[in-house]
Amino acid sequence: MKQHRKQSGLSLIELMIALLIGSILLLGVLQLLSRTTSNDRVNNALARTQESARIAIEFIQRDARRANYLGCANANQPTADTPTSAQTAIETMLVATVTGTEGANGSDTLSLSYASNTGATLTNIANNGITFTPEVSHAANETFMFTDCTNVAVIKTNSSSNSTGSITSSGNEYDPRGINPYTQDNATGNSVPVTLWQMANASYSIRDTGRTNSNGDPIMGLFRNNDEIIEGAENLQILYGLASSPTTTRWVDADGLTAANSRQVYRIKVSIVVAYPDPLINAPNGNVLAVADLNNPTLAAANDGRLRRAFTSEIDIRNRQHLRN
């Protein structure tokens, strides 16, 4: 009869060897998982910065395409035969449709203005103001304009907010001389009432969002007027393109803009630096970033563990493309 030997179990040495092999395998798996998780966080952070930059550029692009729009008026030709004060106000408005400031806290600001249709048409144009229908809501000291497609008039509201069907001029910027309350519709040949336009402004700047990251550092953001557009924007640089010839662009910064050349800006170059808010393990930081700045075209590397990238785009001012001809 065949005898079966009983299982005697593992020796202590065999058990220790098994535990060692298992520990090595487990350590490898944990390292792989940690590396995969870290790479995934970096990739997600990179995707987030790219998406944030795309949104920022799209916002600026949308406003830049509307900048200097003045309805049917020739945006490059202000009203003739007006007093100096009114002429100056119109010139100032046209200059300010594409402008900005240079280098506040290392970051520029950008301001884009355009006429926005109120939906109201003028019923009377008088020497001291205008009436229109329907009523239009406005804030204090807002700027409105109207045109018969030849001449342009600018009128500012008084110091109070209101919803009204009339505006009385608050200063000497208003002179409607030569503007007919009716203009001809090119499609039908009929006379149509002059439209009232409100001058809208979109100002872009880098500000503190008031929030902090996991290290307690402040988180910056890109703001349009007083609204936060994207989180993590740290630097905004703007260059202004002047048409020196149909095929050549001369770039200047905000300090290079003058009353004479500001109305010749037909293109802008926008650079925005976006950083992921929190530090990341193995983040590829420390990069020197190229930006649209004539004096400092590169930003120094930062080694704070935060992933950051610079994005640059050239945007045409559609209502000034005739300047290239």
The predicted pLDDT at position 229 comes to 95
Tell me, yes or no, whether 114 lies in a domain.
Answer: no
The predicted pLDDT at position 273 comes to 94
The Cα–Cα gap between 316 and 106 comes to 25
Mean pLDDT of 38-52: 82
Provide the domain limits for residue 274. 42-68+202-316
β-bridge mates for residue 114, sequence order: 200
Per-residue pLDDT of 77-87, as tens digits, reads: 444 445 445 66
The predicted pLDDT at position 145 comes to 86
Tell me, yes or no, whether 270 lies in a domain.
Answer: yes
Tell me, yes or no, whether 119 lies in a domain.
Answer: no
Tell me, yes or no, whether 172 lies in a domain.
Answer: no
For the chain, what's the residue count?
A: 325
Mean pLDDT of 108-130: 89
Tell me, yes or no, whether 20 lies in a domain.
Answer: no
The predicted pLDDT at position 172 comes to 63
Tell me, yes or no, whether 244 lies in a domain.
Answer: yes
β-bridge mates for residue 230, sequence order: 222
Mean pLDDT of 111-131: 89
For residues 185 and 206, the model is more confident at 206
At 70, the pLDDT band (50, 70, 90 cuts) reads: confident
Question: What percentage of residues in the chain have a pLDDT greater than 70?
Answer: 79
Tell me, yes or no, whether 46 lies in a domain.
Answer: yes
C-alpha atoms less than 13 angstroms from C-alpha of 38 in its C-beta half-sphere? 13
What is the domain count for the chain? 1
Segment among 1-5, 46-50, 278-282 with least mean pLDDT? 1-5
Segment among 50-54, 137-141, 256-260 with least mean pLDDT? 137-141
Tell me, yes or no, whether 245 lies in a domain.
Answer: yes
The predicted pLDDT at position 233 comes to 94
The Cα–Cα gap between 129 and 252 comes to 39
Any alpha helices (H) in 199-242, and if so which ranges?
A: none
Phi, psi of 32 (to 5 degrees): -65, -40
Residue 322, SS3?
Answer: helix
The predicted pLDDT at position 94 comes to 73
